[in-house]
Amino acid sequence: MSTLDGKVALVTGSGRGIGRAIALKLAAHGARLVVNGLDPERAEETARLVKSAGGEAVAVIGDVTDDTFAERFVRAAVDSYGGADIMVNNAGHTWDGVIQKMTDEQWDMILDVHLRAPFRLLRALQPVISTQAKEERARGVRVHRKIVNVSSITAAGGNAGQVNYAAAKAGLGGLTKTLAKEWARYNVNVNAVAFGYIHTRLTTAAADAGSTIKVGGREIRVGVNPDFMARLEQLIPLGRMGTPQEAAGAVYLLCTPDSDYITGEILVCGGGYV
């Protein structure tokens, strides 16, 4: 039996990159997936990859910041599989700028996707979690469920040009620790993984080469200067950036039964760089 056999896992932002790697990792260990992405083709591709490997997956297309998304995403899990066991709040992006040049729109967009969206998703999940826990308690059964919020080492150390992102991820840490206390009565483990520098389109594309992502009808410039990244890699004790698969491994650890007595923690996955 695989470690996650029969578990229902919801993963936001799983159309590409780390999110896709997380979805495929959980599915490989037996979980049934609800995946999500802004781009219908990429989200459906993730679902197809899960299915082609023998797993189960449904795709929910949409922006996690939309007012109706949280209920729609949770409902997909209930309608498709009858409940929910794991939620990974992974969706996100950056929109950098020093504070004197940062607009309210920049601030609000990043706080919305990294903090408000997870709050809404977890609020929508609560009735499902509560109902399942009560039914199991009545049968004398203990089932642990898992929440993993994706954070960043920037939350603890800051990063010039990312006051919005750092503030959002720091807030997510507070949400994680508080919900771990609130949901302990449901036997839910609530933890976070703080990623260091992982190879994704947000960290490997050169910012001065005009790389952008499209979010909410806006073209947002992303990427890191390659010379800067080369210098940074020398500061990482393991000597390199991480891969999406390695990032997914850290999330997986907190979804397994081996983490049943770990809650309210923030696991750093950064190759030793803090």
Average pLDDT over residues 181-195: 98
Residue 206's region, left for phi above 0, alpha for psi from -120 to 50, else beta, is beta
Q: To which residue do tokens 């449904």 refer?
A: 58
pLDDT of residue 231: 81
Three-class DSSP category at 146:
strand
Q: Which of 165, 186, 197, 252 is catalytic?
A: 165
Radius of gyration of the chain (CA): 18
Q: Are strands 188-195 and 266-269 parallel, antiparallel or unpaired?
A: parallel
Specify the pLDDT at position 200: 86
Q: Taking 80 as the threshold, does the pLDDT of residue 208 lie above it?
A: no
Q: Which pLDDT score is estimated for 140?
A: 97
Give me the mean pLDDT over the 186-202 stretch.
93
Closest CA to 217 of 68, 107, 66, 101: 66
* Residues β-bridged to residue 57: 33
Residue pair 85/145 in contact (Cβ under 8 Å)? The answer is yes
Average pLDDT, the chain: 93
**What is the pLDDT at residue 232?**
81
Rounded to a whole number of angstroms, the distance between the first and last alpha carbons of the chain is 36
The tokens for 226 are 């390659």
165 is annotated as an active-site residue: yes
The predicted model scores a pTM of 0.93
90 close to 10: Cβ distance less than 8 angstroms? no
pLDDT average, residue stretch 91-96: 95
In our burial notation (b when 16+ CB lie closer than 10 A, e otherwise), range 138-158 reads: eeeeebbbbbbbbbbbbbeee
> What's the rounded mean pLDDT across residues 203-232?
67
Using alpha carbons, select from 177, 178, 182, 181 the residue that is nearest to residue 192: 177
Chain centroid to CA 78 = 20
Looking at per-residue pLDDT, the higher value among 182 and 232 belongs to 182
What are the tens digits of pLDDT across the range 64-90?
Answer: 999 999 999 999 999 999 999 999 999
User: Which carries the bigger pLDDT value, residue 186 or residue 200?
Assistant: 186
pLDDT tens column, 155-172: 999 999 999 999 999 999
